[in-house]
Structure 1
Amino acid sequence: MEFDVAFALSTLPAFITAVGVTLQVGLIAIATSLCVALINAAIAAFQIRPLQPVVRAYVELARNTPLLIQLFFIYFALPALGVKVSGFASAIIAMTFMGGAYLTEILRAGIEAVPRSQIESGLSIGLSRWQLLRHVVLPQAGILSLPALFANFVFLLKETTVVSAVAVPEILYTTKSYIALYYKTYEMLAVMTGLCVLLFVPLSLLLRVVERRLQHGQFGS
């Protein structure tokens, strides 16, 4: 079977739009996951005992259930309970639920690497918990956690392919739609693969450069 180059090129505008949707879902999910992780990290840093079991239960549940199951529950099960959620919102909620758990564990490990004596010293000189978290704990924990954080950012972006299951028109959904309509399987798989390589490989390399510069204090110097 001859590869239809002209057809593959004709689909590029639709795929570029799909890349935009992929980035939108992924970047929003990364931002919201990081917010969830920061809140949980604060609970861990200051050992807020009533909330620690809640955080542990959340992390275990989120990390030990597949993203697709979480997504289906939000999109299909919640409407049965009277809560209707769009496909896009379901994607963000599910990815935040999963991503927040992974980032929580990464930041928790980073915080545990910060000497406890620094936290106690900060409290003793009158720093508020927020000031201590912002100026003492998170800068050190963040630098220590950078490799794992950036790896998980790329992981979350790649996980956007799962949200095609609830009709979010990202790269995989667009690929499957064209295959179903025109039966151009090889062409569409080639376009999808090429775009994923062009999207994720440079991003991974860029994050690696940023990580090295941050770790060596080269930004802002």
Structure 2
Amino acid sequence: MEFDLAYLVRWLPALLRGLSLTVQASALAVLFSIVIGLVGASIRVAKVPVLSHIIAAYVELIRNTPILVQLFFIFFGLPTLGLTLSLFASGVLCLTLWAGAFQIENVRGGLAAIAPGLKEAARALGLTQAQYLRLVGLPLAIRVGLPSMLNTCVSVIKNSAYLSAIGIQELTGVAFDRIASDFRAFEMLAVLLVGYLSVVLSLSFAVRLLEHRLQAPFRR
């Protein structure tokens, strides 16, 4: 079977819509997961009673179960508890919760890498724990943990392909529907490779610019 460029051009608008949906879901999940990471890591480092244990349990639950099972639980399981979400909302929630658990550990690792002397200096200046985290700890932790945070963001984009399992017509969903209907696997798989590669490389380039702007990461 030869590569059919005309077939690919015919389905290009649908594939671009799927790619747009992939980018939208991934972008929202990345944004919300970073917020979860910053808040969750702060709670764990501050050892807030009860909440820190809940955050730790959440991290272990997400890190030790397959993301596909998590997606099915959100989309098929939550309605039995009275909470019904749309396809898109279910997908974004799944990606957010999955990435949030990893971002918590990324930020927590960045906080652990900060020299103890800085925390002692903050205390000597009269800063509270919350002020230390907001003004000193978290900004430095982000600089230290930026590479690992990027890896999690890249994984979010790649894991967005799982959303096709519940019927979301993102890039993978559109491509596999075409494969099932027309048996043109080569063209569709080529689009998947190029599509995901272009999004991931664009994100990586943006983060590299951010790293350069922040200069060298803080180290002990």
In structure 1, C-alpha distance between the alignment counterparts of 2:95 and 2:142, rounded to whole Å: 21
Per the TM alignment, residue 128 of structure 1 is displaced from its structure 2 partner at its CA by 4.0
Equivalent residue letter for 2:162: V
Per the TM alignment, residue 120 of structure 1 is displaced from its structure 2 partner at its CA by 4.1
Answer yes or no: is 1:73 the counterpart of 2:73.
yes
Equivalent residue letter for 2:71: L
Q: Is residue 43–residue 51 contact of structure 2 (8 Å, CA) maintained in 1?
A: yes
Which residue of 1 is the match for residue 173 of structure 2? 173
Answer yes or no: is 1:200 the counterpart of 2:195.
no
In structure 2, C-alpha distance between the alignment counterparts of 1:168 and 1:139, rounded to whole Å: 36
Query: Deviations for 1:154-206, whole angstroms, at most 9, x for unmatched residues?
Result: 11111110111111111100001112222222222222222222222333233
Equivalent residue letter for 2:185: T
Per the TM alignment, residue 90 of structure 1 is displaced from its structure 2 partner at its CA by 0.9
Which shifted more, 193-202 or 61-70? 193-202
Moved beyond 6 Å, runs of 4+: none
In structure 2, C-alpha distance between the alignment counterparts of 1:209 and 1:138, rounded to whole Å: 20
| Alignment size in residue pairs | 217
Secondary structure at the aligned position of 1:48 is classed as coil
Which residue of 2 is the match for residue 125 of structure 1? 125
* RMSD across aligned positions (CA): 1.8
- Aligned counterparts, 1:201-220, within 5 A: 201-216=201-216
Secondary structure at the aligned position of 2:133 is classed as helix
Secondary structure at the aligned position of 1:126 is classed as coil
Distance 1:66 1:134, change over 3 A: same
In structure 2, C-alpha distance between the alignment counterparts of 1:30 and 1:198, rounded to whole Å: 17
In structure 1, C-alpha distance between the alignment counterparts of 2:34 and 2:62, rounded to whole Å: 15
Which shifted more, 195-204 or 119-128? 119-128
Which shifted more, 202-211 or 53-62? 202-211
Per the TM alignment, residue 50 of structure 1 is displaced from its structure 2 partner at its CA by 2.8
Equivalent residue letter for 1:39: V
Answer yes or no: is 1:139 the counterpart of 2:139.
yes
Q: Is residue 41–residue 104 contact of structure 2 (8 Å, CA) maintained in 1?
A: yes
Equivalent residue letter for 2:101: A
Relative to the length of structure 2, the TM-score reads 0.90
In structure 2, C-alpha distance between the alignment counterparts of 1:183 and 1:60, rounded to whole Å: 41
Q: Is residue 110–residue 144 contact of structure 2 (8 Å, CA) maintained in 1?
A: yes
Long gaps (5+) in structure 2: none
- Aligned counterparts, 1:52-201, within 5 A: 52-201=52-201
Query: Deviations for 1:78-130, whole angstroms, at most 9, x for unmatched residues?
Result: 11222211111111111111111101001101111123443344244333444
Long gaps (5+) in structure 1: none
Equivalent residue letter for 2:56: R
Q: Is residue 44–residue 56 contact of structure 2 (8 Å, CA) maintained in 1?
A: no
Per the TM alignment, residue 34 of structure 1 is displaced from its structure 2 partner at its CA by 0.8
Query: Deviations for 1:114-151, whole angstroms, at most 9, x for unmatched residues?
Result: 23443344244333444322211111111111111112
Aligned residues with identical type, % of pairs: 36
In structure 2, C-alpha distance between the alignment counterparts of 1:49 and 1:81, rounded to whole Å: 28
Distance 1:121 1:49, change over 3 A: farther
In structure 2, C-alpha distance between the alignment counterparts of 1:121 and 1:213, rounded to whole Å: 26
